[in-house]
Structure 1
Amino acid sequence: MSVEFDKKDLAKYPFLKEAQNLVSERAYSLDSLLNSKSGALIAKKASDRVKDALNSNFVFEEIRLDFPEGEILSYAIARIIVSCMKERQITDRLCRYESERATFFLQTEKQDNKKYIAETLGLDLDAEKIPVAKYVELTAHLRSSKWQLVNRDLDSGCVYIHKDESEELLKERIKSVLQSQLPLPVTDDICKMLEIFITGISTAYQEKVLEQFGDIDEGSFPPCMKAIIQAVTTGTNIPHTARFSLTAFMHTIGMDINQIVEVYTRAPDFDVEKTMYQVEHISGRGGTEYTPPECATMKTYGLCVNQDQICKNKNINHPLSYYKFKKKKAGYNKKENSSSKKSDENKETG
């Protein structure tokens, strides 16, 4: 299929080879680009692009495409920045952001252009079914039960796809292709040039984690996670599902790899190399950022134990929800106790 994209089109889909060719023809040097006035603005845009990717909700309506080359270059520099950072969770968030951004523009795209973009990524939008292996790869991170293989119609090693599902699969395909291309091979000199942006993004990321979960408070861990830690401490040989659930939980609430490994040092048979490898893999260094299982899955694993009154709250269906609720409640009680103490002091001095 042959289609023609103008510069503004390519700015919408900077991962296309045509967009890459557009900027490569100019033979930009990163050093000279960053030292130019326009290049400094593009690098700032790239940094903002990564910071935007750290948000939970994306806003694409305000994106301006009046400087297409700048948009494409900011995408390229954003990929260099996350490659320098070597934080898989930030890389994954950028890939998710870019796939959501492309999907936003695809909503009003010509059908032929949609098909072409899908084809360049190895996906046929008109296909009524796709091979099981490819389907499993595409839907690995889709949470809805409708995507589970057990709920699909199969025929001769292929999975049937409904017409209204193809665009969602395209979004997942864009994300998986972008993830497979990162990190880029970068040198220390390149990363040094972008250090100011890398530092700013690292700070923004930590702020996002704290904004969502606050400072780490092991006292607010849900009973299931406390039970796993207790089992580790007493030398119990915990199953992989327990180790995965605890590590993913601690990673998601903002604990770094060293802090997570420190929890496992409580085990009598602690093996630093083995533990470091497992923790790094579950924390996203292996290529995928994992989140802890929800309560229903923890029950299936046999890990939902020692339920308390918070667990029985109808709004609590995930260990992370428990942690947020418990921390908020603990903060409220602390504030109440502080106010009460001040009131008593005032009475005594009154």
Structure 2
Amino acid sequence: MDVVLDHKELIKYPFLKESQQLARRHVESLEEFLSGSTGALALERAKERVFAAISTKRDFQGESASNIRPEFEIASYALARVLVSCIGDRSLVDRLARYEAERASFFLATEKSDIRRYVALSLGIDPDAPVMPVTRYIELVPRMRDPRWRLVNRDLRQGMVHLEPGETDELIRERIRVILVDQMPLRVPSAICERLAPATQEIAALLQQQILEQFGEVKEEAFPPCISALIAAITAGGNLTHMARFAITSFLHTIGMTTTGIAELFSRAPDFDLDRTMYQVEHISGRGGTEYTPPSCATMRTFGLCVNRDKDCERINHPLSYYRLKKNVKKKKQG
């Protein structure tokens, strides 16, 4: 397809190979780039991208990047990925990937048909086709949670999945997100991460603040019965299964408890081993490079971890929802 994107389009889709080539022509050495005034501007813009990814609000129309040239705006995208890679938090990686995917999708929605088609095809998706090969479809939807994406709920004929109007746009957005998630964290030299420490510390603080605003201070009395039972089992010296350790660690990590705090909880066990526990906690928390989320109530039931159900359990389908519910009830009573 013979389409040439100008700098205005390349800014919108910094993940395209043409965008990366433009940035590389002007940024040969990251060390030298960061030392210059333009590099400082690009770094500030990169921070803005990560801050926007952490925020729950989206305002792509209000983006302002007119103070730096297109090639350095694209460089800010690369720097944003470097920043979150230095921080090493998988939830932050996922937030940035989701933000960039939503950003590109926003611009594609109003793009000229030839450009929209070019970008979509570069991602391996035909935006105008009413059907998609089932093998390709299966590659795209495993992390999409809406039940309508499950293959059993689709119109499948002769190896082709039929798509409803607008669904291709969602698949394009998901494809961008998955590509970016799979690319991160990047292998960043420690010297670069040290140089970026002031920016990464600022980002980490904002992320922690956002988590606290969402879940508030960690309150053990608001834990769902299943999580409380696992804590009791640890204290009693029980030998938890891998799934049980995964469930409690991923839950505590998501509500904002630090790695050290989670390890301290496991220290209640009589056979506590610090090095082994820290390794397991850091791995489950995402340091190993895999994105983890706490298991749902259905998964907890499957593994025999759904115990001591109460009346509030009937109202929710995820331990995190139970935790939010109990904290909100307590907050209202105190108010």
Q: CA RMSD in A?
A: 2.7
* 1:30-83 per-position Cα deviation (integer Å, ceiling 9, x unaligned): 344334333322211111111111122322120135442332121121112112
For the 8 Å contact 2:26–2:71, the answer to whether it is kept is no
1:111 to 1:270, Cα distance in 2 relative to 1, 3 A? farther
For the 8 Å contact 1:31–1:193, the answer to whether it is kept is no
For residues 197 and 232 of structure 1, what CA distance do their matches in structure 2 show? 38
Quote the residue 1:77 is aligned against: 79
User: TM-score normalized by structure 1?
Assistant: 0.83
Segment drifting more, 253-262 vs 8-17: 253-262
| 1:300-315 map, 5 Å | 300-312=302-314, 314=315
Segment drifting more, 236-245 vs 137-146: 236-245
Quote the residue 2:218 is aligned against: 216
User: TM-score normalized by structure 2?
Assistant: 0.87
Determine if the alignment matches structure 1 residue 326 to structure 2 residue 303: no
Q: CA deviation at 1:163?
A: 4.7
| Local SS of the residue matching 2:250 | helix
Quote the residue 2:176 is aligned against: 174
For residues 302 and 156 of structure 2, what CA distance do their matches in structure 1 show? 26
For residues 97 and 173 of structure 2, what CA distance do their matches in structure 1 show? 10
* 1:239-280 per-position Cα deviation (integer Å, ceiling 9, x unaligned): 544333322211110123333233334445556666555433
1:286 to 1:124, Cα distance in 2 relative to 1, 3 A? farther
| 1:1-350 map, 5 Å | 1-64=1-64, 66=66, 67-125=69-127, 126=129, 128-132=131-135, 134-154=136-156, 159-268=161-270, 275-312=277-314, 314=315, 316-331=316-331, 333=333, 335=334
Name the aligned partner's letter for residue 219 of structure 1: E
1:190 to 1:270, Cα distance in 2 relative to 1, 3 A? same
For the 8 Å contact 1:216–1:255, the answer to whether it is kept is yes
| Local SS of the residue matching 2:5 | coil
Name the aligned partner's letter for residue 136 of structure 1: I
Name the aligned partner's letter for residue 64 of structure 1: S
**Corresponding pairs, count:** 332
Gaps in structure 2 of 5+ consecutive residues: none
Name the aligned partner's letter for residue 128 of structure 1: V
For the 8 Å contact 1:8–1:65, the answer to whether it is kept is no
* 1:167-213 per-position Cα deviation (integer Å, ceiling 9, x unaligned): 11111111111122222232222223222111110111111111111
| Local SS of the residue matching 1:150 | helix
For residues 192 and 128 of structure 1, what CA distance do their matches in structure 2 show? 48
Segment drifting more, 28-37 vs 71-80: 28-37
For residues 160 and 277 of structure 1, what CA distance do their matches in structure 2 show? 45
For residues 101 and 244 of structure 1, what CA distance do their matches in structure 2 show? 32
For residues 174 and 141 of structure 2, what CA distance do their matches in structure 1 show? 7
Larger Rg: 1
For the 8 Å contact 2:23–2:72, the answer to whether it is kept is no
**Percent of residue pairs bearing the same amino acid type:** 49
Segment drifting more, 316-325 vs 16-25: 316-325
